[in-house]
Amino acid sequence: MKNLFFLFITFLVLKSEDSFITQYEYGQMLYNNPRGIGCVHCHGKDGSGALIAKYKEDGKTKSLRGPNIRNKSIKDLKKSLFKRHKVMPTYFLTDSEIEALAYFLSNKGD
Ligand code: HEC
């Protein structure tokens, strides 16, 4: 009976670890859905950059790209997120959300 109880507790512990998301998954979730337009639309699936639009200017085709933002420091991310840009929106994310974003953008998924 004691053994059975122990087994049950072990099962509960393993089960609860299962339901927590990792810092990487949390960062990825915020990256895709940061209370605003997802970073993914302009910076690509993993932050390495993406084409936003092509347009013509003085007869020449130009392209607007979201830059590579992988491996940025938390400080750099903060600066860009709170700033007013021409293309990129301003975001209001908390410190721990920005830390998770930085973690996601600096690590490879499994
Ligand atoms: C509508 C498109 C768009 C979205 C959405 C967007 N960005 Fe950007 N981002 C840009 C563009 C374009 C630039 C470069 C020009 C500028 O500063 O506006 C940029 C610049 C940056 C930079 C500075 C890069 C450098 O090398 O200086 C960082 C960091 C960044 N974005 C992070 C993010 C994060 C994190 C998100 C989501 C929370 C996000 N961006 C959402 C378009 C976007």
Mean pLDDT of the residues in the chain: 89
- Among candidates 67, 65, 77, 66, which has minimal Cα distance to 106? 77
Residue 98 Cβ contacting ligand 1 at under 6 Å: no
Q: Please give the model's pTM, rounded to 2 decimal places.
A: 0.83
Q: What is the pLDDT of residues 49-102, one digit of tens each?
A: 999 999 999 999 999 999 999 999 999 999 999 999 999 999 999 999 999 999
Find out whether 93 and 37 touch, Cβ atoms under 8 Å: no
- Among candidates 13, 19, 31, 21, which has minimal Cα distance to 72? 31
Task: Tell me if 8 is assigned to some domain.
Answer: no
In the predicted model, what is the mean pLDDT of residues 18-25? Answer: 83
Cα 67 to ligand 1 centre (Å)? 7
User: pLDDT at residue 16 above 90?
Assistant: no
Q: Whose alpha carbon is nearest atom 12 of ligand 1?
A: 66
Residue 34 Cβ contacting ligand 1 at under 6 Å: yes
Task: Tell me if 13 is assigned to some domain.
Answer: no
Task: Tell me if 11 is assigned to some domain.
Answer: no
CA distance 102 to 28: 10
Residue 88 Cβ contacting ligand 1 at under 6 Å: yes
Q: What percent of the chain clears pLDDT 90, i.e. is strictly above it?
A: 78
Q: 10 Å Cβ neighbour count for 55?
A: 10
Q: Whose alpha carbon is nearest atom 36 of ligand 1?
A: 39
- Position 18 scores a pLDDT of 58
Residues in CB range of 90: below 8 A, 6 or more apart? 81, 82, 83, 84
Task: Tell me if 84 is assigned to some domain.
Answer: yes
Quick one: angle between helices 74-82 and 95-106, nearest 10?
Answer: 120
Q: What is the CATH number of the domain that holds 81?
A: 1.10.760
pLDDT band at 31 (very low <50, low <70, confident <90, very high): very high
